[in-house]
Amino acid sequence: GRNDEMRNPFNAAKDERIQAELNSIYRIGYLVLMFGILFDLFLQYVPTLGAENVSVRPVEFAVFLVANILCLVLMVRKGISDDDSRYAEADSFPRGYYIRVSLLGALIASVLFGAIQVYRFSEIGLTDTVLVVLITTASIFIFTAPTIFGVQYFCYRLAKKRRDKMEQTYNDDEK
């Protein structure tokens, strides 16, 4: 009852509607923070393109990577393979959805890196710049799309395996 809640406030009963609202709020905050850090890293990288030593703040970059990898590991440990509830616990790999996600991610990455190349090679002449940008953009796209798809498939398989194991443990406990 009330005394239990007073003794241990962290295990108190939670309102599901409030939890859902807070989760949505935290997700928005997380996305703003992650894209803000990514944009800041990008702004640090671009001015140093012509220099011999390209630099970004290593702690900022490490925190960005660790935060995202930690979220991914925690999701997989809970048997969740995606933050989209339609595909989070899918029984079969939603290939079409992940092809679209992979192509969109690769397109964004290749356009960004193509823009960097325009900035970097704009002094060498229009024809050469266009050629460098096209080669860079195509290369980034061709490499990134299958990589994103492969990582998504790997995470799906790990989460599905974990979900099956959790279900098996639950069924064994029921017996």
More confident residue, 86 or 105: 105
CB atoms within 10 A of CB 60: 14
Both structure tokens of 23: 């989760």
53 membership: H or E segment, kind and range: none
Query: What's the pLDDT tens digit per position in 15-69?
Result: 888 888 888 888 889 989 998 988 888 778 776 666 566 667 888 888 889 999 9
Per-range mean pLDDT, top range of 41-45, 74-78, 130-134:
74-78
121 membership: H or E segment, kind and range: helix 95-121
Q: Residue 135: which residues within 8 A CB-CB, separation 6 or more? A: none
Query: What's the pLDDT tens digit per position in 107-125?
Result: 999 998 888 777 777 676 6
Confidence at 150, pLDDT banded by 50, 70, 90 = very high
Whether pTM exceeds 0.85: no
Q: Does residue 8 carry a pLDDT above 70?
A: no
Largest CA distance in the chain: 76
Amino acid at 88: A
According to DSSP, residue 65 is labeled H
- Whether the Cβ atoms of residue 64 and residue 34 lie closer than 8 Å to each other: yes
Confidence at 136, pLDDT banded by 50, 70, 90 = confident
- Whether the Cβ atoms of residue 79 and residue 89 lie closer than 8 Å to each other: yes
